[in-house]
Amino acid sequence: MNDFIPDNPYILLTPGPLSTSKGVRGAMLRDWCTWDADYNVGIVQDIRRRLAGLAAASPEDYTVALMQGSGSFAVEACLGSAVPRQGKLLIIRNGAYGERMCQMARVLGVRHVEYATAETEAPEPRRVAEILDGDPAVTHVAMVHCETTTGILNPLEGVAKAVKSRGKTLIIDAMSSFGGIPFDAGALGIDFLISSANKCVQGVPGFAFVIAKRAAMAACEGNARSLCLDLHDQWREMDGSGKWRYTSPTHVTRAFFQALDELEAEGGVAARHARYQENHRTLVEGMRGLGFRTLLADALQSPIITSFLYPRPDFDFGAFYDAVKERGFVLYPGKISQADTFRIGSIGEVYPGDMRRLLAAVRDVSEA
Ligand X SMILES: *Cc1c(COP(=O)(O)O)cnc(C)c1O
Q: Residues interacting with ligand X, by CB under 6 A?
A: 15-16, 70-72, 97, 144, 148, 173, 175-176, 196
* Strand pairing category for 207-213 and 62-68: antiparallel
Least Cβ distance, residue 255 to ligand X (angstroms):
16
Nearest residue to the partner ligand X, using Cβ: 71
Contact predicate 350/20, CB 8 Å: no
- How far apart CA 43 and CA 238 sit, in angstroms, is 12
Q: Which is nearer to ligand X, 78 or 260 (CB)?
A: 78
Least distance CB 69 / ligand X (angstroms): 8
Residues in contact with 104: Cβ distance below 8 Å, sequence separation at least 6, in sequence order: 72, 75, 76, 79, 80, 110
Measured CA to CA, the distance from residue 170 to residue 192 in angstroms comes to 6
C-beta of 173: minimal distance to ligand X in Å?
5
Q: Quick one: 97 or 342, whose CB is closer to ligand X?
A: 97
In the bound state with ligand X, the residue whose beta carbon lies nearer, of 40 and 176, is: 176
Measured from the CB of residue 37, what is the shortest distance to ligand X in angstroms? 30
CB of 200 closer than 8 Å to CB of 51: no
Strands of the sheet containing 305-309, edge to edge, are 305-309, 341-345, 332-333
Beta-carbon contacts of 332 under 8 Å, excluding residues fewer than 6 positions away, are: 13, 14, 15, 305, 342, 343, 344, 345
What is residue 171's three-state secondary structure?
A: strand
**Nearest distance in Å: CB 71, ligand X:** 3
* Longest pairwise C-alpha distance within the chain: 62
Name the residue nearer to ligand X (CB basis): 198 or 250.
198
Q: Which is nearer to ligand X, 173 or 191 (CB)?
A: 173
Least distance (Å) between residue 291 CB and ligand X = 28
| Nearer of residues 93 and 232 to ligand X, judged by Cβ | 93
For CA atoms 169, 174, 178, 180, the dihedral sign is negative
Instruction: Pick between residue 145 and residue 362 the one whose CB is nearest to ligand X.
Output: 145
- Shortest Å, Cβ 95 to ligand X: 8
Residues facing residue 172 across a β-bridge: 143, 193
